[in-house]
């Protein structure tokens, strides 16, 4: 009996190690790839695309006017883009002020508010045949002035979707810094790194654009509360389309500023990840062998993986336990997996985060791990409930971030 138990325990340890080690190695591959320069797909057409810039909002009266004004400031022909505000549960005076601007405003009051419901409402009520592409923003997003121009070059027969580079517009708390670093790691691994290998970029949920007719048709089949971006990815990749990524097309996004919002957000993300893994891992595996659909299978593999902060925390604790107690066995194996993960993440963190404020923020990593672990215990149904996060607008902060990235782009161009 003891021998059977020992064999079972050893097998379980081996499977657990292989799972975590494979995830670490997967991350390292794309981290190294992200060090290379990315050449965008390049649209040879000289046509200036006509955009509908959709901004679905829920009770964002405090920020929407400034966000709308910023959206209108694109260095793009004004005749070729409309900013569309889907204002859900807004005050009447805010609607009146919005209608004084050159916008399209839909004043709605959904009984059950979701991002997909707001977008579909706009698509049903915008005139047919007027737009070539649609750009999706969140209520707090601020586009860099040349965003539409940069993403326009990506559309082609194969690329009906393009993801821009979403960056933090606030770095005012340690949790905001951690959130900003987390998103940049994802940008490097699952957007730039994947594109270097010829795979599709992952979507984020905003700062993204799609070919209009295809998007409208696709959205008619989408009705989800959480995981909106994952639903779109699955539909695109299953259909054989690819998603481009433009690393110098910036959109400034508000990062979470405290532990409570961090926990709510991660809980929703984890729930969506578990949901999509359960629904798509087996179909994606079949599609790999029957149709050779590597893209769909690669996305399913990502749903199988632990989020980075959980992976880091689990490997640290297991490695420490292995060295101190001898359980699990083979401490050097666990150390190698932990070191691989750390290396992948270090490679993926942009150089601008190598700053004293980052060191302070990293002290909050154990708190982030704790909240992620709690989220893992409470994920059931989290992606089926709409959770609203209030946003803020700080003109000075946004200008400072814009100036920083403009200066960074100029230095990059001068080096080439």
- For residues 65-78, average pLDDT: 95
Residue 361: the pLDDT is 87
Least confident stretch, 44-53, 282-291, 372-381, 398-407 = 398-407
Supply the Cα-derived Rg of the chain in whole angstroms. Answer: 22
Residue 19: the pLDDT is 96
Residues 6+ apart with CB under 8 A from 111: none
Q: 402 pLDDT exceeds 60?
A: yes
pLDDT band at 416 (very low <50, low <70, confident <90, very high): very low
Distance, in Å, from the CA atom of 163 to the CA atom of 172, rounded to the nearest integer, reads 26
- For residues 191-203, average pLDDT: 96
Q: 28 pLDDT exceeds 60?
A: yes
Distance, in Å, from the CA atom of 136 to the CA atom of 44, rounded to the nearest integer, reads 24
Residue 268: the pLDDT is 79
Asked whether the beta carbons of 153 and 43 are under 8 A apart, the reply is yes
Task: List every span in the chain annotated with CATH 3.90.550.10.
Answer: 51-255
Asked whether the beta carbons of 151 and 69 are under 8 A apart, the reply is no
Least confident stretch, 39-43, 230-234, 301-305 = 39-43
Residue 385: the pLDDT is 56
- For residues 283-287, average pLDDT: 95
- Read off the DSSP letter of residue 223: -
pLDDT band at 357 (very low <50, low <70, confident <90, very high): confident
Residues 6+ apart with CB under 8 A from 103: 68, 72, 82, 83, 84, 85
Q: 319 pLDDT exceeds 90?
A: yes
pLDDT band at 40 (very low <50, low <70, confident <90, very high): low
Query: Mind listing the pLDDT tens digit for each residue in 75-108?
Result: 999 999 999 999 999 999 999 999 999 999 999 9
CATH architecture of 51-255: Alpha-Beta Complex (3.90)
pLDDT band at 398 (very low <50, low <70, confident <90, very high): low
134's tokens? 């649609």
Which own/partner contact pairs does 77-80 have at CB distance under 8 Å and 24+ positions apart?
A: 77/48, 80/48, 80/49, 80/50, 80/51
Query: Mind listing the pLDDT tens digit for each residue in 203-220?
Result: 999 999 999 999 999 999
Query: Mind listing the pLDDT tens digit for each residue in 242-260?
Result: 999 999 999 999 988 877 7
Q: Residue 96: how many CB atoms within 10 A of its CB?
A: 11
Distance, in Å, from the CA atom of 284 to the CA atom of 399, rounded to the nearest integer, reads 44
Strand order in the sheet with 159-168: 104-108, 81-88, 51-58, 133-136, 208-211, 159-168, 242-253, 142-143
What mean pLDDT is reported for the chain?
A: 88
Asked whether the beta carbons of 119 and 149 are under 8 A apart, the reply is no
pLDDT band at 160 (very low <50, low <70, confident <90, very high): very high
Distance, in Å, from the CA atom of 36 to the CA atom of 394, rounded to the nearest integer, reads 34
Q: 136 pLDDT exceeds 90?
A: yes
Note the pTM of the prediction, 2 decimals. Answer: 0.88
Share of the chain above pLDDT 70, in %: 87
DSSP assignment of 107-153:
EE--SS--HHHHHHHHHHHSPTTS-SEEEE--TT-EE-TTHHHHHHT
Q: Report the DSSP beta bridge partners of residue 161.
A: 210, 243
Residues 6+ apart with CB under 8 A from 95: 87, 105, 107
**164 phi and psi angles, rounded to 5 deg:** -85, 180
Share of the chain above pLDDT 90, in %: 63
- Read off the DSSP letter of residue 277: H
Distance, in Å, from the CA atom of 370 to the CA atom of 134, rounded to the nearest integer, reads 39
């Amino acid at each position: 009996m003891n021998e059977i138990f020992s064999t079972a325990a050893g097998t379980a340890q081996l499977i657990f190690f292989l799972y975590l080690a494979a995830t670490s190695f997967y991350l390292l591959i794309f981290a190294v790839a992200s060090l290379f320069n990315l050449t965008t797909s390049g649209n040879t057409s000289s046509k200036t695309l006509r955009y509908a810039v959709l901004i679905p909002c829920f009770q964002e009266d405090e920020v929407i006017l400034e966000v709308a004004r910023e959206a209108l400031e694109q260095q793009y022909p004004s005749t070729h883009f409309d900013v569309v505000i889907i204002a859900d549960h807004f005050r009447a005076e805010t609607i009146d002020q919005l209608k004084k601007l050159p916008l399209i405003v839909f004043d709605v009051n959904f009984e059950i508010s979701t991002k997909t419901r707001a977008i579909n409402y706009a698509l049903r009520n915008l005139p047919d045949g007027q737009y070539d592409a649609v750009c999706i923003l969140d209520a707090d997003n601020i586009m860099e002035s040349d965003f539409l121009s940069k993403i326009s070059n990506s559309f082609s027969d194969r690329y009906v979707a393009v993801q821009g580079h979403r960056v933090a517009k606030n770095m005012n708390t340690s949790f905001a810094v951690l959130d900003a670093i987390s998103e940049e790691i994802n940008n490097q691994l699952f957007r730039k790194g994947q594109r270097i290998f010829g795979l599709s970029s992952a979507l984020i949920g905003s700062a993204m654009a799609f070919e209009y007719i295809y998007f409208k048709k696709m959205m008619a089949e989408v009705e989800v509360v959480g995981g909106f971006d994952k639903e779109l990815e699955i539909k695109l990749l299953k259909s054989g389309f690819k998603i481009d990524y433009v690393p110098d097309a910036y959109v400034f996004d508000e990062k979470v500023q405290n532990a409570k919002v961090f926990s709510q957000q991660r809980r929703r993300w984890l729930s969506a990840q578990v949901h999509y893994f359960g629904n798509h891992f087996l179909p994606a595996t079949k599609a790999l062998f029957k149709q050779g659909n590597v893209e769909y299978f690669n996305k399913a593999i990502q749903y199988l993986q632990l989020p980075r902060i959980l992976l880091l925390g689990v490997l640290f604790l297991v490695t420490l336990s292995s060295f101190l107690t001898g359980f699990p066995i083979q401490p050097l194996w666990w150390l190698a997996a932990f070191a691989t993960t750390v290396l992948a993440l270090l490679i993926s963190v942009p150089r601008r985060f190598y700053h004293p404020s980052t060191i302070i923020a990293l002290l909050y990593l154990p708190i982030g791990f704790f909240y992620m672990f709690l989220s893992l215990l409470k994920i059931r149904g989290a992606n089926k409930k709409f959770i609203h996060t209030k946003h803020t607008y700080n003109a000075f902060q946004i200008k400072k971030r814009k100036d920083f990235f403009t200066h960074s782009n100029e230095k990059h161009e001068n080096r080439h």
